[in-house]
Amino acid sequence: MKEISTLSLPQTFQKRMADLLGPELPDFLASYLRPRSNSLRVNTLKITPEDFAALGLFPLKPVPWCPEGFYYAYQDYPGKHPYHQAGVYYIQEPSAMAVAAYLDPRPGDCVLDLAAAPGGKSTQIASSLQGQGLLWSNEIDRKRSRILLENLERWGTARMIVSCETPENLSQALPGFFHKILLDAPCSGEGMFRKDPGALRHWSVQHVLSCAFRQQKILESAASLLKEGGTLVYSTCTFSPEENEYCIINFLNNHPDFGLEPLPKLHPDFVESALLPGTIRLYPHRVDGEGHFIARLMRKPSSAVPLGEKTAGQQSREKHLPGHHQNTTHRQGQGNTPNKKTKSPDLSLVSDSEIFSDLRDLLRPEAGDLLSDDPSSGNPSSGNPSSGNPSSGDLSSGGLFSSGRHSLISHEGHYWLDPLAGKLLPKLNILCRGLYLGQKKTGRFLPGYALAHAQEAGHFKEYSSFLAGSLELEAYLHGEEISSPGPDGWTVIGVDSFPLGWGRRSGGRLKNHYPKNLRQ
């Protein structure tokens, strides 16, 4: 692995770091001569960290500040293992795992990840929510937002909304909507020089100041999205005070309705900032990871619009019609890549009976508890769903497809399980609202990739398991047909007990329905 010579670090950058670190500067510079750390985070929606470690796939060492995080040797390439395609773990830089830990999302919270791509912190939040509440993940860049959606679907996330919006548009549309917000702000990337040499090539003091200006604007939008009493975690992967402490100090000076919540040290070598006590810095010469800054803010009571209460401007932007109406993206087939063009379809609430017969053909009665109608689930939509009375077509009481505080929505034969129970939203560019179930096409139901990942293997009526490294599994991930004895019809293909995607069996041959954009 290539290291960065201290001679390649700009002298201006080294002087600025000397001002921050004093006598620790030599140790800091020496860290650039060492290989960076590599780590993964286990998907606790699918397996416990203990059970994963017991599999012995690779030599692992725990990440001290993240119970589900493990270091691995870079030559092991876990990203090439089919368990990665199955969403069993996510490749994530170890210091980045501390950010969502400080946000501390709990089951039932309504959480926004405002700058979410590629999805590492969003998947960590999804695991903490345990299928309750709501995760709203936003990314302003359209290409990166598609990658974000792919990663969340692979993770098995059901109660989610993925949007491709500006922070300003979100703040105007959803004031005071979220209990907790994560703003991992775009930054100059000083803390990632070992990982991303491109950040080093683009570095300049002017770039730092430009990032700081942009961060102040994004933080303003994030603040208005937070409900009273809510928590906002601000983080960067840079060292510059302009993007970190000074950004928070300027914000607090202009927002007396916000306060700084002092952060505890999740590890003895986390550093409390001398510039702003109560905030945390991570340095690569102190921890086995890259550089980060983290601050936690709280919006004081009686300062935000209560959750669910709309301003006059927001009300004027809504169309009060059955179902919900918003700019969204039409999903094609069972892949998970949106159209390039944004459409504004009417997504209609539908009766469960329209697709429940198809779902019953695929799933066992015990399928899922991802979307419970338990009032303690913390669904941000309160009251009865606008879809009407509960349907008699439920697969299980209180389970994934139970009626209550969610509903089925559709557009042009595509179906989603809506975590907002048909709640009206302003016009926003939304890529996915809830769990994508599949598409009804020429009278036949085509189940969605996301549905395969949101269920355990034992919840499918037909599940075909292959060993990691087998020729059949390799062929499936390449998009090829494979031999598969068994009854004709849909089956889920998996690696061991972890689903990967769908196939349709006919005469002992399995037609491949693994999304084309994911094939290896």
Binding residues for S-adenosyl-L-methionine: 115-121, 139, 184
Given a contact cutoff of 8 angstroms between Cβ atoms, the answer to whether 258 and 223 are in contact is yes
**Helix (H, G, I), strand (E, B), or coil: what is residue 391?**
coil
CA Rg, the chain, in Å? 23
Reported residue count of the chain is: 520
- Strands 407-411 and 414-418, sheet pairing: antiparallel
Alpha carbon 160 to chain centroid, angstroms: 9
Residues 371, 409: Cα–Cα separation, whole Å: 15
Residues 433, 476: Cα–Cα separation, whole Å: 28
**Residues known to be catalytic:** 237
Give every CB contact of residue 422 below 8 A, 6+ residues apart in sequence: 323, 324, 349, 381, 385, 386, 387, 407, 409
Q: What are phi and psi of 33, to 5 degrees?
A: -90, -5
Helix residue spans in 226-338 (DSSP H): 245-254, 312-317
Q: What are phi and psi of 427, to 5 degrees?
A: -70, 115
> Which residues are bridge partners to 460 per DSSP?
363
Max Cα-Cα span within the chain:
72
Given a contact cutoff of 8 angstroms between Cβ atoms, the answer to whether 503 and 510 are in contact is yes
**Helix (H, G, I), strand (E, B), or coil: what is residue 501?**
strand
SS3 annotation, 155-195: HCCCCEEEECCCHHHHHHHCCCCEEEEEEECCCCCHHHCCC
Closest CA to 12 of 204, 199, 206: 204
- Provide the sign of the torsion angle of the four alpha carbons 499, 501, 505, 509, taken in this order: negative
* Neighbour tally for 58: CB within 10 Å: 16
Taking each helix axis from N to C terminus, what angle separates 142-155 and 120-129, rounded to the nearest 10 degrees? 40
Residue 116: half-sphere exposure toward Cβ, Cα within 13 Å: 34
* Neighbour tally for 423: CB within 10 Å: 19
Please name the amino acid found at residue 187: C
Closest CA to 450 of 159, 185, 34: 159
Residues 374, 95: Cα–Cα separation, whole Å: 35
Measure Cα distances from 517 to 3, 338, 520 in Å: 33, 11, 9
Measure Cα distances from 297 to 105, 176, 249, 371 in Å: 14, 15, 11, 30
